[in-house]
Amino acid sequence: MKLLKKILCGLSAAAILAALSGCSGGDDTKLIMATNAEFSPYEYHEGDAIVGIDVDIATAIAKEMGKELVVEDMAFDSIIAAVTSGKADIGVAGMTVDPDRLKSVNFSDPYTTATQVIIVSEGSIVATPDDLKGKKVGVQLGTTGDQYASDIEGASIERYNKGFEAVQALTQGKIDAVIIDNEPAKVFVSQSEGLKILDEEFTTEEYAIAIAKENTQLLNDVNAALAKLKESGELQAIIDKYISAE
């Protein structure tokens, strides 16, 4: 009887350990990517699939690492938390390296350069970034556009969960301008009448991949994969697939 109890206790302990390892995302065959699929052409919905520049780059990185990419769609301001908690291995969402984010995660080498631009209505008195003083400015919550807008003197910042919601508010006259990344801005303006992008850029920044602070091996593996993709030309080919040269 005592022997049976010992066996059962041993099985229970093993079962608990197995369950814990399953909850920790310990599947070495998968690379889990946290993103916000509202940011065309970097990540967006195409039918039931999530596609875009970042998805293709992450897929190529996963292939270099001998893994299968799994994409998890979530709110943009939840991505860092997903990475730090271990729910995701990497955060790839047109994400800029900045001091605040570096407090929580490490970033890979940059994979592309982007700019923040200003969308306004045709005929708007806002012609340069300086004209945003005292205006109502729309941004996507948690983005660098959100951070930069907070420094505009006297501006009222309206924060939205999705970029298109900010653009929609602009078309409805609820705000005076939207600060957002250049490539998504092009898509939004092409889909909405009466909007334009100002010629003067708001900022220039670099996109990189967020990785948990303690996961230095993954950081090294991702950087090694990125280096191979850059050297082979595959990285630029992915970008060119979605963004035509101007």
CA 169/CA 157 separation, integer angstroms: 12
Mean pLDDT of the chain: 89
CA atoms within 13 A on the CB side of 121: 16
CATH code at position 198: 3.40.190.10
Tally the C-alpha atoms within 13 A of residue 222's C-alpha that lie toward its C-beta.
27
| Domain range for 188 | 114-205
Both 106 and 26 in one domain: the answer is yes
Same domain, 28 and 101: yes
Span 53-72, pLDDT tens digits:
999 999 999 999 999 999 99
Which token pair is 219?
A: 């950081």
**The pLDDT of residue 147:** 87
Residue-wise pLDDT tens digits, 91-145: 999 999 989 999 999 999 999 998 999 999 999 999 999 999 999 999 999 888 8
Number of domains into which the chain is organized: 2
Q: Has residue 10 got a pLDDT over 70?
A: no
Report the percentage of the chain scoring pLDDT > 70.
88
HSE-CB for 119 with a 13 A CA cutoff:
31
11: pLDDT strictly greater than 70: no
The whole-number pLDDT of residue 26 equals: 56
9 inside domain? no
Sequence-separated (6 or more) residues with CB below 8 Å from residue 17: none
Q: Both tokens of residue 14?
A: 């093993």
* 238 and 187, same domain (yes or no): no
Q: Which two tokens stand for residue 184?
A: 């998504």
Exposed (0-12), middle (13-18) or buried (19+): which is 246, by Cβ within 10 Å? exposed
Number of other CB atoms surrounding residue 176 within 10 Å: 22
Instruction: Report how far apart the first and last C-alpha atoms of the chain are (Å, whole number).
Output: 79
